[in-house]
Amino acid sequence: MSLLIIAILIPFIATALIPLIHNRIGTLHIGWLVLLIPTALFVIFALQIPVISNGDTLIQTINWIPSVGINFVAYLDGLSLIMALLITGMGSLVVLYSIYYLSASDSFPHFYAYLLLFMGAMLGIVLSDNLLVLYIFWELTSISSFLLIAFWYHRKNSRYGAQKSLLITFFGGLGMLAGFLMLHSMTETFSIRETLSVIGQYTDHTLFYPAMFLVLLGAFTKSAQFPFHIWLPDAMEAPTPVSAYLHSATMVKAGLYLVARFTPIFGGTAEWFWTVTLVGLVTLLWGAFCAVRQTDLKALLAYSTISQLGLIMSLFGMGSAAMYFGDGEQGAFYGLAIFAALFHMVNHSTFKGALFMVVGIVDHQVGTRDIRRLGGLMSFLPITFTFAVIGSFSMAGLPFFNGFLSKEMFFTASVNAIGLPVFGDSAWGLLIPAIAWVASVFTFVYCMIIVFRTFFGRPQLKKLDRKPVEPSLGMLISPAILCVLIVGLFFVPNLLGDHLLRPALNGIIPGISGAAPHISAWHGFNTELFMTFGIIIVGTLLFLTFRSWYKIYLLQPPGWTFTALYNSYLKDLKRVSNWITTHYMTGHLPAYFAYIFIFFIATAGGALIFTGALSIDLTADSPISFYEGMLVTAMAIAAVSILFAKSRLTAILLNGVLGFSIAIFFVLFRAPDLALTQLVIETVTTVLFLLCFNFLPEWAKEDSAKRIKIRNAVIAISAGITVTLIGLTVNSGQSFESISGYFENSYELAGGDNIVNAILGDFRAFDTLLESLVLFIAGLGVYTLIRLKLGKGPEKDEHK
């Protein structure tokens, strides 16, 4: 049974069904039906835990386009499983939360259809083994994210945020696709597992590093890494359940997943190590630094998400060193970073999900999430306050919460990285733990801001829309479950470590299980613990003295942001494309014809010359008789004379000369059917021309400027020469055998002696049928045009 493929397809099928069933369920909130899907999927994936933690993997294939190696291959290993559980688990909680969060005026079918579309696409990403299938799901998540950010599409900011996220993630996605195609051109396979086994031979390939950077581009844009992070704060225009689900717990982790998946392919190189680690660290620092200055709680959480994603990214970067050292003690030493990354990925989903839900509750209950208007809510929202404390303190890395454990491991990994031989001088190596520490101080500060600015201090009830009260119980269930996990994981981390994280680590780098430690909260007084002490002391000081050092944020000039860069780029893009379009789409038919012919000359003529195909060989030509020569001369003269014809009657008659001469050629060249047809058609055409001209004005002399005439002449002559050269080249060599011999069996095959007739009426009868259809359509067009009376405004009708 293709369990995995069904699991991917269920959300998609449900997406299609939601609009159909929405009107038939009466007063029942459709969210309850939707909730069944992620919950059921979560159970299905949870049942796979024993299998996967035994070291087995599941693989299921459906052939899609096998001829080009594109198959729907679902692959479940430890890494996929942990992601799938996050997607379905968080999905269930978010759907439950959204039932109480959304207001009755929101369109439920749209919301849940997009949400399920996203869920299916996200499962597709983490379960696909085929790169192209993965890419399709990847872009589908971008599309569903776009739809969800723009869910309240009547708001300008929502539309802006949606467009920004779409443009940036698609930009990266296309780069990633190019990277995948480069990988394919090296390894001849689209399968990740097969690529993994053969990539060793291609590390010297010229495309190896371009492919690596392009894949990273996709990962960095999706996971909002510096400097592509600018879309995530604007994505906060989405409803809060969406922010909690897509923009903190799952979609933005797709980039991390991709980096993890590709670690065994590209990891072990210094370029991968440096790029991933540094981009991650810079994002970590910049995100934390920016988060502190935010006044909107959701914007604060957005920057904090950016920062945390950077943290996990840098851990994957540091852990990639394990690929360099291979299976051994040193490999295990650095592989710890990957284990920490996976651990923090899970922890981040729990505490950030809880915090988003808390902010959603505050926003929902009091009508604002601006910390300048909030304060003193502790006594009004005691339960929500508890959740906020648990989530924030876990994010700050304080003990008794899961964030403490993974943060300590992050410090361990960063301290370990000092000793890496890539640094040469170990002074540089100190940079990694230094950045990590400074960023963590800022993390501590903004975590305190969330708790203290919102829930402590003097209540400013006048500034709030509503009197704050605790929300209904349903809205509290999801954050409560997450908070239980946050605390629970601190006390029994090894349950997670042994059953999920260790298999996931094995999924990334097989055979490095030695790197998976026994997680324990107490290591004695070591460097990491002192780093945490330092953070708490310095962080508290900074939080208390916030007003005195706030001016540091004013140092950044207002126009010097990446968002400003993005906006001006978008504006210029519009301006330039508008300029180009108005300059070449002139509305003049001759200009368009000129483009077509110039393009033809450039491509066909250019190809002829630059590929060296041009060859002229007259030896195979049949002899020229006197009459034929005369006829050719007559035609050439008639043709050229048309250009100089003073009256249109002359021109028509000269055209007739051409047509009838061709009929004679058809006779000479043994084509009696053609000659007959040509004679009839040419007669009718000439009559038709004459008839029509009766109604048209006498043709005026060409009044174009001389410059235009010369331009037209140059184009015409060049095109004529191109056609001649192509004709001569084709004529002088037989690249492959003629297929015409087949038709000489026309009597046996079609029962006809006349081969031309047999081709038209039998071999290519369908073609002929369509040809008569063309005739019919043209006739219909002629008839309609003649009967058509165009109204010239309402006046004309009045006279009727």
Please list every residue from 291 through 310 that binds other proteins, using CB under 8 A. Answer: none
Cα 229 to Cα 233: distance, rounded to the nearest angstrom: 8
Cα 517 to Cα 62: distance, rounded to the nearest angstrom: 38
Shortest distance in whole angstroms from residue 659 CB to other proteins: 7
Shortest distance in whole angstroms from residue 727 CB to other proteins: 4
Binding mask 571-610 for other proteins (x = CB under 8 A): ----------------xxxx--xx--x-------------
Verify binding: residue 328, other proteins, rule CB under 8 A: no
- Binding test (CB under 8 A) with other proteins, winner from 17, 730, 749, 765: 730
Token pair for residue 106? 């929101």
Residue 531 vs 654, nearer CB to other proteins:
654
Beta bridge partners of 370: 296
Verify binding: residue 636, other proteins, rule CB under 8 A: yes
Cα 118 to Cα 12: distance, rounded to the nearest angstrom: 9
Token pair for residue 128? 């696909």
Verify binding: residue 713, other proteins, rule CB under 8 A: yes
Verify binding: residue 739, other proteins, rule CB under 8 A: yes
Contact 96, 475 (CB under 8 A): no
The region of 101-109, 204-212, 396-404, 631-639 touching other proteins under the rule CB under 8 A is 631-639
The region of 288-296, 339-347, 546-554, 622-630 touching other proteins under the rule CB under 8 A is 622-630
Shortest distance in whole angstroms from residue 794 CB to other proteins: 17
Verify binding: residue 715, other proteins, rule CB under 8 A: yes
Contact 127, 84 (CB under 8 A): yes
Residue 427 vs 785, nearer CB to other proteins:
785
With tokens 């810079």, the residue in question is 282
Closest C-alpha among 117, 98, 92 to residue 18: 117
Verify binding: residue 700, other proteins, rule CB under 8 A: yes
Shortest distance in whole angstroms from residue 603 CB to other proteins: 16
Residue 495 vs 730, nearer CB to other proteins:
730
Verify binding: residue 733, other proteins, rule CB under 8 A: no
Token pair for residue 140? 């589908």
Q: Which amino acid is at 530?
A: F
Shortest distance in whole angstroms from residue 707 CB to other proteins: 13
Residue 28 vs 739, nearer CB to other proteins:
739
Cα 440 to Cα 434: distance, rounded to the nearest angstrom: 10
Mapped onto helix, strand or coil, the DSSP state of residue 105 is coil
Binding mask 653-692 for other proteins (x = CB under 8 A): --x--xx--x--xx-xxxxxxx--xx--x--xx--xx--x
Cα 659 to Cα 642: distance, rounded to the nearest angstrom: 13
Q: Which amino acid is at 450?
A: I
Residue 425 vs 753, nearer CB to other proteins:
753
Cα 399 to Cα 413: distance, rounded to the nearest angstrom: 19
Verify binding: residue 622, other proteins, rule CB under 8 A: yes
Asked if the bond preceding 227 is cis, omega within 30° of 0, the reply is: yes
Token pair for residue 754? 């006349």
Q: Restricting to residues 438-477, which ones interact with other proteins according to CB under 8 A?
A: none
Verify binding: residue 649, other proteins, rule CB under 8 A: no
Shortest distance in whole angstroms from residue 798 CB to other proteins: 19
Verify binding: residue 630, other proteins, rule CB under 8 A: no
Write the CB contacts of 165 (distance below 8 Å, at least 6 apart in sequence): 142, 145, 146, 149, 231, 232, 234, 235
The region of 151-159, 262-270, 323-331, 723-731 touching other proteins under the rule CB under 8 A is 723-731
Verify binding: residue 627, other proteins, rule CB under 8 A: no
Cα 193 to Cα 57: distance, rounded to the nearest angstrom: 12
Task: Kindly determine how many residues on this chain lie close enough to bind other proteins according to the rule CB under 8 A.
Answer: 97
Residue 32 vs 742, nearer CB to other proteins:
742
- Binding test (CB under 8 A) with other proteins, winner from 13, 552, 580, 643: 643
Q: Which residues of 363-379 are buried (b: 16+ CB within 10 A; e: fewer)?
A: bbbbebbebeebbebbe
Cα 728 to Cα 88: distance, rounded to the nearest angstrom: 66
Residue 540 vs 718, nearer CB to other proteins:
718
Residue 62 vs 681, nearer CB to other proteins:
681
Question: What is the crossing angle of helices 431-448 and 382-396, to 10°?
Answer: 170
First to last CA, the chain: 73
Residue 109 vs 752, nearer CB to other proteins:
752
With tokens 């219909």, the residue in question is 780
Verify binding: residue 427, other proteins, rule CB under 8 A: no
Residue 466 vs 709, nearer CB to other proteins:
709
Residue 9 vs 674, nearer CB to other proteins:
674
Question: What is the crossing angle of helices 402-416 and 329-366, to 10°?
Answer: 140
Shortest distance in whole angstroms from residue 713 CB to other proteins: 6
The region of 85-93, 518-526, 558-566, 717-725 touching other proteins under the rule CB under 8 A is 717-725
Shortest distance in whole angstroms from residue 799 CB to other proteins: 17
Verify binding: residue 240, other proteins, rule CB under 8 A: no
- Binding test (CB under 8 A) with other proteins, winner from 428, 704, 710, 749: 704
Write the CB contacts of 499 (distance below 8 Å, at least 6 apart in sequence): 49, 53
**Which whole-number Å values give the CA distances from 290 to 104, 175, 286, 442, 534, in the listed order?**
35, 28, 6, 9, 21
Verify binding: residue 621, other proteins, rule CB under 8 A: yes
Shortest distance in whole angstroms from residue 570 CB to other proteins: 25
Shortest distance in whole angstroms from residue 665 CB to other proteins: 7
Cα 657 to Cα 629: distance, rounded to the nearest angstrom: 16
